[in-house]
Amino acid sequence: MFDSSFSKTEKKEIEVGGIVTSEGFVLVLDVIDGNETLTDQLSALTSKALLPVVMSAPTFPLLQLPWACSQHVLRIMCPIQLVSFSLLSKKCKNVVKSLKLKAEPIAIRVDNSIKLFVELRGAGGLCKIFVYNFNNFPKNMHSSNEQDGMKKQLFVSKTVFIFFAHCVLERSRIQERYKMIDNRMGVKEWLSHFQSIFHCSKCVRVKFFERSFKFDADSLRDLFENLCELQATMHTGSYKFNKLVVQKFFCEQRTLLAPSCFENSKIPHEFFIPNSKFLNVLEDNNSPVRLSLNDLLVCNSKNIRCDNLVIAPKVVNNFLKLWMNGANPPLETFHFYHSDRDPIDIDVIMKGIKHQEMPQHLKRQLPSMFIPRSIHGGLDIHRIGGVKATVWFSTEAARNRFLMVVWHEYMIQ
């Protein structure tokens, strides 16, 4: 059984070792499960002066209630209370699972520590739970070369913090911060626990930020086995580590890269070769993205998106001609925009390319995962074998946009 000792860090709130309601009073649940109750768990409090207050609180036999009644009680708890309750025993965990709450795939943020982000959406708005303080690097250990020296080891942090945010219509926001003072679970156990009680995907989204180079990349890869997204869009402090991250974590579902993470702000050529459903190249520090024709031709991603791409119209023209002759067979979409005041030179891009201009009233839907969701008009071209593609241009919000959509049979709605 895990100790669920949480202490509220906000002033004007009661510091307790059990579950705190949003109104600020203590709710002590008398959990009849084996020989321990939640009251027994309160012995881990750091402030003994509060014990008489907690111990005198009324008990509530939650697990002795009829099923429908216990479900109603659990549904009025906030997510942080459900997390605390689920840690008491396997039975409590299964009761929370029975609520069938559905969370988004968990996001992992790696900087000087490891943070888990859980998002729950419902009628009450967006709820976010953050768990962090998995840094585990002894203060008395130093390295002469911090980038290539001793790496942080992944073991259990006794104290972790849990941060809860409730967003209603993206306007009002209530934030609470808790401290778990006797944690017995590592990152992998927390990850598995959240995935279980909130019925979220086993795949995770991993984001690397500044100072994450202090961790061992191999240990992290073993920790996060199933990925649905990699974000390597911020310089960690070590180009060597950045490159290692992309090599080990490149995600077949979605990978996001930024040139500033690599030497000379140039994404290594080999990172365009692996298969990926979505490859996003992001601008950073308002610096434009630069790709060569060779980068595009070796890219095996189905969907390529570049923010603020600087590319000559002649290069785009050559890419379209080569696609028509059989290059980039997996391609579904090639999408980029740039912020230059001058519009995209359509005449140069389409020079020497046989195409058919479609009327503006013709609206074509794109699959749900694409943005924009639909296009009007456009220029239709065909490649060897008869596969059709549409080249589409627009100018909106001072941004010039280019979109190429390949109409494979499975994309036609």
Highest mean pLDDT among 141-145, 158-162, 210-214, 397-401: 210-214
- Mean pLDDT across 326-346: 86
Q: What is the pLDDT of residues 33-48, one digit of tens each?
A: 333 333 333 333 323 3
Q: Residue 304: beta bridge partners?
A: 279, 334
- Give yes or no for residue 52 having a pLDDT over 90: no
- Mean pLDDT across 92-104: 92
**Cα–Cα distance, 302 to 410 (Å, whole number):** 13
For residues 223 and 246, is the Cβ–Cβ distance under 8 A? no
Least Cα distance to 335 among 272, 402, 408 occurs for 402
Q: Locate tokens 């627009």: which residue?
A: 394
- Give yes or no for residue 144 having a pLDDT over 90: no
Q: What is the pLDDT of residue 135?
A: 56
Query: Confidence class of residue 199 from pLDDT cuts 50, 70 and 90?
Result: very high
CA dihedral 251, 257, 263, 265 (to 10 degrees): 160
Q: What is the pLDDT of residue 113?
A: 85
Least Cα distance to 82 among 191, 177, 164, 201 occurs for 164
Q: What is the pLDDT of residues 280-318, one digit of tens each?
A: 999 877 678 889 999 999 999 999 999 889 899 999 999
Q: Locate tokens 């740039």: which residue?
A: 338
Highest mean pLDDT among 75-84, 212-221, 297-306: 297-306
Q: Locate tokens 């967003």: which residue?
A: 167
Provide CB contacts within 8 A for 201, sequence distance 6+: 105, 195, 228
Q: What is the pLDDT of residue 142?
A: 38
Q: Which tokens sit at 287?
A: 């610096």
**Cα–Cα distance, 102 to 105 (Å, whole number):** 9
Query: Confidence class of residue 170 from pLDDT cuts 50, 70 and 90?
Result: low
Q: What is the pLDDT of residue 148?
A: 53
Q: Tell me the three state secondary structure of residue 219.
A: helix
Report H helices in 76-177: 79-86, 90-97
Our measurement of the distance from residue 44's CA atom to the centroid of its chain's CA atoms, rounded to an integer in Å, reads 34
Q: What is the DSSP string of 235-274?
A: --S-HHHHHHHHHHH--SSEEEE-GGGSGGG---GGGGSS
Q: What is the pLDDT of residue 192?
A: 93
Lowest average pLDDT, out of 5-19, 214-228, 356-370, goes to 5-19
**Cα–Cα distance, 131 to 135 (Å, whole number):** 12
Lowest average pLDDT, out of 68-77, 136-145, 166-175, goes to 136-145
For residues 169 and 125, is the Cβ–Cβ distance under 8 A? yes
**Cα–Cα distance, 384 to 322 (Å, whole number):** 10
